[in-house]
Amino acid sequence: MHTKNIYIKTWGCQMNEYDSSMIVTLLQKKNKYLFTKSAENADILILNTCSIREKAQEKVFHQLGRWKKLKNNNPQVIIAVGGCVATQEGKEIFKRANYVDIIFGTQTLHRLPNMISEVEKKRKLSIDISFPKLEKFKYSLEPKKKGYTADISIMEGCNKYCSFCVVPYTRGNEISRPCDDVLFEISILAKQGVREINLLGQNVNAYQGPTFNGKICYFSELIRLVAEIDGIDRIRFTTSNPLEFTDDIIEVYQDTPKLASFLHLPVQSGSNKILNLMKRSYTIEDYQSIVKKLIIARPNIQISSDFIVGFPGESEIDFQQTMSFIKNINFDMSFSFIYSNRPGTPASQMEDYLDIKEKKRRLYLLQNLINIQTMLWSRKMFGSVQSILVEGVSDKNIMHLYGRTENNRIVTFEGSPKMIGEFVDVKIEKIHTHSLKGKLF
């Protein structure tokens, strides 16, 4: 049997990366497939797409245009498009790029091996962008350690329908994986040497997983159960929503030391008017209340967030309220973007009066403020001793190792390769905005 090479390109969030790892695992089970790092050497090209940013569709078609040349040279090449853009656009992709062979959705990636086989036999378009609930997880094989940290998807979809967001349309409604399936997957990884777990979900704190005895495991309980697994010494999660950041989750920060003292909690704007237009369903006061409770539960906690600048209707006053809010909360870092008009969302119908020059000005000011705060947080770490999970050898200096602090700073330091995969204490001796250097303590 002729072995075929597969090349996969992934855009987007950690959930997309997780999905791509599932695709790799599923196809590796088939002995006739190997993976290559070169598109030019591939018999099958897979593009796993993201639709969060503006002009996401155009980015997809530009990539497909480059791959078309490869298919012209070899008509037997199979091109598959998956992910959020595939779910959103469906057959429109084939209309614009009729050389595409397969279109699969975020919830049908497990059907890709069969879709590839069908195309190999019949040489006609195969499309499946349906939403079979959690079916893809039933096809996942025994997880394999790729490093000493691992992302674990515990729920998918979103019920919030924020006015700017396409996720509910591309990932479907919220649905949680069974608690025991999640714990089993993490247990296997822990036995293989994984030390840190990052729980994933579009609204991860909305997790409500069924248990073997017909009950519901809520997110706070799941974290505590993960913390009891031998070998797992640090837990993170992303992305959470303030709307469901309930007191029982805050209490976990008080009684579960393995939960990292760092939280990414997207707020999007510091103006209640804009939050209302975004249909975020919480207020700035609600967010501030959560932060106050978190600081009581975990005094050393640091918080990052997401901000959208230039949302339709955002006045200078709204923007200044956001700037004041950032100072008030004292965010450690953020992901911030100019508003992207996403077709099919309610916000796409709103009047947008701001020109791009003003949007860029606001983004610059916001990011500059966050960078100043990030540096101030880093300075506070100077001279401190940090617990670091050693992830590997530094690319810049083979004599140095690297790992991350609880607040996600990369730290480099001299050490033995035998330390890789272990937690070590490092005293911080040099600081940069987003990285640190230290010495074994």
Binding residues for [4Fe-4S] cluster: 13, 50, 84, 158, 162, 165
- Per the CB < 8 A criterion, the answer to whether 326 and 317 are in contact is no
d(CA 357, CA 307) in angstroms, rounded, equals 18
* Residue 182 identity (one-letter amino acid): V
- Per the CB < 8 A criterion, the answer to whether 387 and 364 are in contact is no
Q: Which residue has the tokens 């853009």?
A: 85
The full DSSP string for 322-357 is HHHHHHHHT-SEEEEEE----TTSGGGGS-----HH
Q: Which of 281, 270, 178, 164 is nearest to 222 (CA)?
A: 178
Structure tokens that stand for 296 in this block? 């009581």
The full DSSP string for 279-310 is T----HHHHHHHHHHHHHH-TT-EEEEEEEES
Q: Which residue has the tokens 């090479």?
A: 5
Instruction: Classify residue 58 by burial, with Cβ atoms within 10 Å: 0-12, 13-18, 19+.
Output: exposed
Residue 10, preceding peptide bond in cis (omega within 30° of 0): no
- Per the CB < 8 A criterion, the answer to whether 257 and 300 are in contact is no
Q: Which of 54, 55, 52, 104 is nearest to 78 (CA)?
A: 104
Pairing of strands 423-431, 216-218: unpaired
d(CA 153, CA 13) in angstroms, rounded, equals 12
d(CA 133, CA 136) in angstroms, rounded, equals 8
DSSP 8-class letter at 10: E
C-alpha separations of 196 from 108, 179, 185, 386 in Å: 28, 18, 13, 16
Task: Give the DSSP H or E segment for 403.
Answer: strand 400-404
List the binding residues: 13, 50, 84, 158, 162, 165
Structure tokens that stand for 401 in this block? 């190792």
d(CA 275, CA 278) in angstroms, rounded, equals 5
